[in-house]
Structure 1
Amino acid sequence: MNTISPSTFYKEEASNYELTVRVIKAQNIHGGDVVTKPDCYVCLWLPTSLADKKRTKTIWNNPNPVWDEIFHFRLHSQVKNILDLSIHDEDVGTSDDHLFTVSYDVGNVPLNEKVVENFSLDKEFQTELQVELNLVVIPETQKKVTTNGVLVCPEMVTLQVEVPKKRKEPFKKKTELALSVQGSFEDSHRILLQSDSSSELDSHDTAVFHFSRDLGTEMTASLCRVYSPFDVTFSNDTENDSSNQTIVPLNLISPMENEISVQIPAMEGKPLDVQIKLNECPEELDVRLGFDLCDKEKIFLQKRQRLVADALKKVLGLEEDLVGEEIPVVAVMATGGGARAMASLSSHLCGLQNIGLLDCVTYIASASGSTWTTSKLYEDPNWSQNNMSEAINNVKKHMTKNKLNTFSMSRLKYYRKELKQAAKDGQKSSFTDLWGLILESMLYNKKNEFKLSDQQAALDNGQNPLPIYLAINVKQDKISTLDFKEWCEFTPYEVGLLKYGAFIRTEDFWSEFYMGRLMKKHPEPRICFLQGLWGNVFSLNLVDTWYLTTQTDTFWDTWIKDKIKDIDEGSIRVRRESAHTKTSLITPDGTLSGILKGVLTNRPIDGEQHNFLRGLYLHKDYYQQPQFTPWKDSNLDIFPNLLTPLADNLCLVDAGYFINASFPPLLRQARKVDVIISFDYTLDTPLQSVEQTCQYCTTQGIGFPKVSLSEEERKTHKECYVFNDKDNDNCPTVLHFPLVNDTFQKFKEPGVLRSPEEMSDGDVDVTGAFSPYFLTNFTYSERDFDRLMKLTQYNLANNRELILDALRTAVQRRKARSRSCDVPQTQEQKKT
């Protein structure tokens, strides 16, 4: 296995294989219909070879069907190739019953040796499926491919199809050339061969397709009649008539060859001659593959270090300057919490400035409602160098204003106009975008043209901490967030899916990618659309709501979830050194459960974004890479055919659904964070996020301090908790600040008691259902807003010494580590 360092992509030697699959027979099949015998067929899906599925013929009325059909697939040696074999019971008049799916790792097949597998589908009824597989190397296909150990970028080629103008002679009836290349970026093109010269279609006589050279791709071409120049309609005699289609296997054509002439049969008259040619594409990628930081962030860190070193020297009273690796990395982590989080984070950042600690911070990570604060602050390139009281006043103005105008007729017309423009710009407009526009109305007084990449101006000289915004990628329907979620981080420099090590420029978010290349550039979204995405409290499905309410997934696991079983059981041997994925049997639930699952998992008001991993493959050893960090309960991570690279779209939602925190980006090894100041804005469970993060990190092997709390600590919350691991230098110290009202009730400032007349000012309700700061409240009274500001700043100032102690310890650790690196090693130490 190739284990890589978390630096960047590299090149690997690769070949192509040909896989032959012979579907032989099945026995003792029990169909979905208890009255009649099953009418079975088998579907074969190998998406790393072909974009579409293949299937056998149907064997009618037979529980022991014999197919004996052969299928061929072209494979890439460095890609994780998983063959899904699904058995279906065909029904007339209703949808077919899906009985079983076997998920089989082709890496299990030895080279140049036929293997017969008998897959046990149901031991009770002795149900089996028998398949023969044979894998051979295709000669002279050795090449180098780009990979980061988790993703593989295949070789891209373009197919150019041209209709020579001299051959665009008139047909008796209006005709068009329909072209399709399944698995290509474009999928299909059409060229109108006879129309008015003013027709837009008539001016295009060349079609271009982008696709993977490694796929067993075919071009399908046919001539079809057109009945209306405005509404292209295929005649009944050509629409499904494969005899009128010309199929060209593209893997037989070399990019080195000259143009090839292909004849397309016509229904009447002469056939049409077209010229086709394959061209190689440049190797440069627009998707950055790697687990290291991007160059722009590295440059920012160098500039920020100087300011942080000066601030630490001042606040800690150090005699010597801190240099290089001696300078610790301090980060702020903020949870979600709607408008409460937005207001409180503003107050906390102001509080850090007041006690001289804001310039010590390198990163600010936020999720959900807290993202609304940072995205607003960074419109000012020097916000952290200015007095933050002005920023607080700005938040107060919008938090206390009347928001009825948000739903006025003029605003509704504005929303409609902006959504139309977003759709024109290439975005799949949804309720998430509408929610972003509503937030814009509540947080701003006018249309805000600011974009996330514009925040780079606030980082040019390292004058502010680097903001990081967190979301999670989920499946839009059929699969619960309990089973699948992936961290996605946004910075002014990049947007990336962390576990795949794949990033794009922030300016290119909303654009379309394929095989690591930027294919269609769309305008970058305005910041309001991202605010709606990061803080969309309405994109829950019913299963998410159940989980958040009960913190249990028993109902989902017991009644709704597909049953997945390992059927290797020693009979299916690991025959090659390639990383082996266990053979799994997936048994879908019945029709009623399927309907219930659809109701429970559907996200009717979620949005979709273009998937910048589209066209990339998972490496054959992806699951063994330490950088690939799935959730422990994400069963899909062992099913590469269902993971994000094979999805057409992303479904990015609020990160607060399961861990209402923004820790993950700060725990990336490359960021080397030493101290995390954690601000938790949850009302009822202010310690849950840090406990869940600890559990997640323990499972994944990520450095995070142990969070162990007594029952008393859970009941009576402190103003600040310090979690650390003194024996682990790779583990950050976490100072966790819940939103609590403790000593503030008696002290208006640290060490200054309240007078009897001032006692009412300390009565701030941040618990219970009747708190004025409940999640869906977006309008506070001035008194409630001011009290929340004073409470949060007081809690921070009252625990200043705890923060300073953590910073001193971080400096000492850094210095000790730096000195140990400078000490020459003995020969024995070098051997060790």
Structure 2
Amino acid sequence: MESLVSEGLSCQPLQGEASTCCQLSVKILEARNLFWTDLLSEADLYVVLQLPTASTSTFRTKIISNSNHPIWNETFSFQIQRQVKNILELKVYDADLVTEDKDLFTVYFDTIEVSPGKSILKTFSLNPQGKEELDVEFQVEEILDSPENLITNNVLVARELSCLTAQVDKTGSTAVVTEKDELVLTLKGSYEDTQISTLGSGMVDSFLFHYITAQETEMKGCLKSLKVDREEKDIPAENLTVPLKSLTMGEEVAVTIPAADATALGLKLSTSSCSEELTVRLGFGLCDKEQEFLKKRKQVVAKALKRVLQLEHELQEDEVPVIGVMAIGGGARAMTSLYGHLFALKKLDLLDCVTYISGTSGSTWTLASLYENPDWSQQDLEKPISHAREHMAKSKLAAFSLGHMKGYQQELKRRTEEGYPPSFVDLWSLVLEFLLHGQVTEHKFSEQRAALEQGQNPLPLYLALNVKENSLGTLDFKEWVEFSPYEIGFLKYGAFIPSELFGSEFFMGRLMKKLPESRICFLEGLWSNVFSGNLMDAWYDFTSSEETWKQNIRDKTRKIAPEKDLHDSQSTSWINLSWLQPRTALTQAFQGLLTGRPLLHRCHNFLRDLHLHQNYSAQKDFCAWGECQLDSVPRQLTPLQPQLCLVDAAFFINTSCPLLLRAGRNLDLIFSFGYSISSPFQELEQMEIYCRERGIPFPRVELSEEERIQPRECHVFSDPNCPEAPTVLHFPLVNLSFKEHSAPGIKRSPEELDGGQVDLTGFLSPYSLANMTYSGDDFDRLLYLNSYNVQNNHKEILMALRTALKHRKQRQP
């Protein structure tokens, strides 16, 4: 266990609030008209109950044999926290002595429907076409003597943790153990889950478990003895079961685990409150470190704007506009082009006017390389550009030599030993590192903070998508994940961790196991992870036109409806009918073929086991995806997943704009650098639709047919009627006056005309997405083209900066 001490970076958790727990009683009464199950006899029915937010155990009624109208009248109790989303699952089974019991249907019930002090009778209609029904009675009573301290941002809830210590009592144990005996202790729902120790002279004699204090759980223990004879087989073990509710906090209790030959192994159990503070920051606002940076950066921006715009007065802090650079992805093409754009901004003395730089996919390679130098924007960019040119022009075959492959293998093995889950994308990261740098780079992501200490550079932001590992296509479920040198987190849930802790193991918002911070190359591979797609993603990409994509974004970005409207207009419960939706092995295999991600990326989930707030879907900051039922089922959302699966943001919209539009950043002007060859405005138009459907201020992207056929070097989009919307200067990847001009206003000589021939659309264009090797001339042409397009629109940029000054004044209260 490690507490969070991280370069003075405060996570600032919200203050805890006490909330009483309640006792939920569930009485399974009866079912009627269940006639469809067995052909030769009546059904043998029973009900299984599960409420994972309250108990780690699964409960079941007795079996009522040979009855299509079973009457159970059995009551089960759960201790629930009303601030948490508690979804009770009721499964009705038909027992079968020959084959596996049949799962007939599942009922999901939101316990918020039951008010404290009252009881309600629910009749679940199991088939809209028939009369099959299940009667259940619910009652909730407050437990006044057991308040629980919660920390919540009204979307996620961090609950109190306790620790269970189990100490082997060597003096009180009568069991004779050997080195072939194993002690197995299990605490379901805890961070550790199961711990095993091989007994003998070097046995581990102390075990520690972390569990949710108010959750009903029990510790199970057993001794597994291995009898050595000619066939060497296991001896059945007897179990010890200890409900943790029976233990008094701070008191030690002696128990025994049955062992062979009528002996027993002694254990001493004690529980205590967990002292670990919350490490995950729950909140949708910007962290303290970013706000401190903004104050310093505004001073730099104010001086730069006064210098560039030749202002007569000093700008006050509230007069300084926030300006961002938005770079999209596109492999080596995006990396090279962004170098050209930044080179031009530096040459025009505009780089100090920028507060944020955001990137995705290939553009992140440029940012990751630049921010190894804490003063990169204050220095000449020729050195990093020359470095990139050198490695783009070299042969890439050496990356796959036997020696390098062995080196990759050793590095991956070391990561696995450190505790990182094995991932194919880690291999891609190591190959990418060699392609871009030709050597191992020891730089780490959190070290980019050095480039921000005095506000000397813009704040870099990187974007990825979290998706489902093997059940859905990326378009059906995706969540923005932001990476900044200060924090990494989910915009959807308002949950962030310090960047150096990414990859470490968490439980209920606490840091459980700190892993060594990864070298930044592993994040570069993650940000440009195009390998974790599935066949469904490929099918969408292959069959979808630009208009189809626009409609898809409209469909997928609407705000989630209240849960009462999602399933039943009269109730918060809903039914999953197994007999109407058969899950045969064939259909499961086919779905797995379409949605499986054979080359996925895995990393530990820092949201692990945080609970959803009772009203999470009603919070304005929680943005669910339209048509995605998973957003209304807490057990299917990311906090209940042990690992994350992160992919390139281009699987949805190939833009980093969501980072700049995050609440609190309040941008006035965005330099939009597009690197698409075939669709110069596609990402921008998709972003406009996304923002409009979300209610995020963004200017209209309105284009004439002529502009679509032949885009200009710079397009200005603004909305005078919406002062909250930033102005967007969009620079598509086009080759217009650069063909005839080596610099703004300077015509090319006949000898220089070849330098202006940049093949962006030809079949043999060197700038295809899959190409990672450019000749020196090809690199230079693309670099200078993008640099020229910015420099050639210097006047438009200055006008936009003046507009941004006015825009900032309009936004002041």
TM-score (norm 2): 0.90
| 1:287 corresponds to | 280
Identity value in percent = 47
Shift of 1:28: 4.8
Shift of 1:154: 0.3
Tell me which of 501, 504, 528 is aligned to 2:497.
Answer: 504
Contact 1:485 / 1:634 at 8 angstroms: preserved in 2? no
Taking the aligned partners of 1:545 and 1:285, their CA distance within structure 2 comes to 40
| 2:676 corresponds to | 682
Shift of 1:480: 2.3
| 1:824 corresponds to | none
Q: 1:501 to 1:742 in 2, by over 3 A?
A: same
Contact 1:482 / 1:634 at 8 angstroms: preserved in 2? no
Tell me which of 187, 198, 207 is aligned to 2:193.
Answer: 187
After superposing the two structures, state which structure 1 stretch, 271-280 or 782-791, moved more. 271-280
Q: 1:589 to 1:309 in 2, by over 3 A?
A: farther
Shift of 1:537: 1.6
Please show how residues 820-831 of structure 1 align to structure 2 within 5 Å: 821=813
Shift of 1:494: 1.2
| 2:620 corresponds to | 626
Describe the superposition over 1:613-644 as per-residue Cα deviations: whole angstroms up to 9, x where unpaired.
11311111111211212233433211111111
The residue type equivalent to 2:404 in the other structure is: R
Taking the aligned partners of 2:175 and 2:777, their CA distance within structure 1 comes to 79
Contact 2:13 / 2:280 at 8 angstroms: preserved in 1? no
Tell me which of 320, 330, 349 is aligned to 1:327.
Answer: 320
Q: 1:538 to 1:143 in 2, by over 3 A?
A: closer
User: Structure 1: which 5+ runs fail to align?
Assistant: 1-5, 239-243, 559-563, 573-580, 822-832
SS of 1:773 mapped into structure 2: coil
Please show how residues 300-699 of structure 1 align to structure 2 within 5 Å: 300-551=293-544, 569=568, 571-572=570-571, 583=574, 585=576, 588=581, 590-591=583-584, 592-699=586-693
| 2:5 corresponds to | none
Q: 1:589 to 1:171 in 2, by over 3 A?
A: same
Q: 1:571 to 1:493 in 2, by over 3 A?
A: closer
Shift of 1:395: 0.9
| 1:763 corresponds to | 757
Taking the aligned partners of 1:769 and 1:594, their CA distance within structure 2 comes to 40
| 1:705 corresponds to | 699
Taking the aligned partners of 1:568 and 1:104, their CA distance within structure 2 comes to 11
Contact 2:174 / 2:263 at 8 angstroms: preserved in 1? no
Equivalent pairs counted in the alignment come to: 783
After superposing the two structures, state which structure 1 stretch, 169-178 or 211-220, moved more. 169-178
Describe the superposition over 1:169-197 as per-residue Cα deviations: whole angstroms up to 9, x where unpaired.
4517664432111000011223455x2x2
| 1:241 corresponds to | none
Describe the superposition over 1:758-801 as per-residue Cα deviations: whole angstroms up to 9, x where unpaired.
44433322235542211111001222211111211111112222
| 1:119 corresponds to | 124
SS of 1:671 mapped into structure 2: coil
Q: 1:31 to 1:418 in 2, by over 3 A?
A: farther
Contact 1:10 / 1:146 at 8 angstroms: preserved in 2? yes
Taking the aligned partners of 2:247 and 2:305, their CA distance within structure 1 comes to 64
Q: 1:37 to 1:695 in 2, by over 3 A?
A: farther
| 1:214 corresponds to | 214
After superposing the two structures, state which structure 1 stretch, 19-28 or 730-739, moved more. 19-28
Contact 1:355 / 1:797 at 8 angstroms: preserved in 2? yes
Contact 2:107 / 2:573 at 8 angstroms: preserved in 1? no
SS of 2:269 mapped into structure 1: strand
Tell me which of 156, 159, 164 is aligned to 2:161.
Answer: 156
Taking the aligned partners of 1:226 and 1:155, their CA distance within structure 2 comes to 39
Matched, 1:78 2:87: no
Tell me which of 17, 21, 25 is aligned to 1:20.
Answer: 25
After superposing the two structures, state which structure 1 stretch, 597-606 or 669-678, moved more. 669-678
Q: 1:760 to 1:816 in 2, by over 3 A?
A: same
| 1:720 corresponds to | 714
Shift of 1:65: 5.1
SS of 2:262 mapped into structure 1: coil
Describe the superposition over 1:419-478 as per-residue Cα deviations: whole angstroms up to 9, x where unpaired.
001101111121110000010110112111111011111112211111111111111011
The residue type equivalent to 2:156 in the other structure is: L
| 1:575 corresponds to | none
Taking the aligned partners of 2:465 and 2:44, their CA distance within structure 1 comes to 42
Q: 1:144 to 1:798 in 2, by over 3 A?
A: same
Taking the aligned partners of 1:120 and 1:396, their CA distance within structure 2 comes to 67
| 2:733 corresponds to | 739
Tell me which of 256, 264, 289 is aligned to 1:263.
Answer: 256
After superposing the two structures, state which structure 1 stretch, 179-188 or 54-63, moved more. 54-63
The residue type equivalent to 1:111 in the other structure is: P
After superposing the two structures, state which structure 1 stretch, 447-456 or 54-63, moved more. 54-63
Taking the aligned partners of 2:233 and 2:83, their CA distance within structure 1 comes to 41
Taking the aligned partners of 2:177 and 2:17, their CA distance within structure 1 comes to 54
Taking the aligned partners of 1:815 and 1:340, their CA distance within structure 2 comes to 38
Contact 1:482 / 1:633 at 8 angstroms: preserved in 2? no
Shift of 1:64: 5.2
| 2:7 corresponds to | none
Describe the superposition over 1:499-523 as per-residue Cα deviations: whole angstroms up to 9, x where unpaired.
1111111111111111111111110
Taking the aligned partners of 1:404 and 1:30, their CA distance within structure 2 comes to 67
After superposing the two structures, state which structure 1 stretch, 30-39 or 70-79, moved more. 30-39
Contact 1:163 / 1:274 at 8 angstroms: preserved in 2? yes
Shift of 1:387: 0.9
Taking the aligned partners of 1:686 and 1:434, their CA distance within structure 2 comes to 32
After superposing the two structures, state which structure 1 stretch, 741-750 or 524-533, moved more. 741-750
Shift of 1:98: 5.0
After superposing the two structures, state which structure 1 stretch, 546-555 or 723-732, moved more. 546-555
Please show how residues 166-177 of structure 1 align to structure 2 within 5 Å: 166-171=171-176, 175-177=181-183
Contact 1:336 / 1:661 at 8 angstroms: preserved in 2? yes
Tell me which of 44, 51, 54 is aligned to 1:49.
Answer: 54
The residue type equivalent to 1:489 in the other structure is: E
The residue type equivalent to 2:589 in the other structure is: I
Shift of 1:710: 4.3
SS of 2:256 mapped into structure 1: strand
The residue type equivalent to 1:735 in the other structure is: L
Taking the aligned partners of 2:56 and 2:114, their CA distance within structure 1 comes to 22
Taking the aligned partners of 2:657 and 2:104, their CA distance within structure 1 comes to 42
SS of 1:73 mapped into structure 2: strand
Taking the aligned partners of 2:233 and 2:610, their CA distance within structure 1 comes to 34
Taking the aligned partners of 1:440 and 1:801, their CA distance within structure 2 comes to 39
Taking the aligned partners of 1:135 and 1:218, their CA distance within structure 2 comes to 23
Taking the aligned partners of 1:291 and 1:67, their CA distance within structure 2 comes to 47
Taking the aligned partners of 2:41 and 2:759, their CA distance within structure 1 comes to 66
Contact 1:31 / 1:99 at 8 angstroms: preserved in 2? no
User: Structure 2: which 5+ runs fail to align?
Assistant: 1-10, 556-562
TM-score (norm 1): 0.88
Taking the aligned partners of 1:691 and 1:35, their CA distance within structure 2 comes to 61
Shift of 1:396: 0.7
Shift of 1:110: 2.1
After superposing the two structures, state which structure 1 stretch, 25-34 or 261-270, moved more. 25-34
Contact 1:425 / 1:523 at 8 angstroms: preserved in 2? yes
Q: 1:535 to 1:586 in 2, by over 3 A?
A: farther
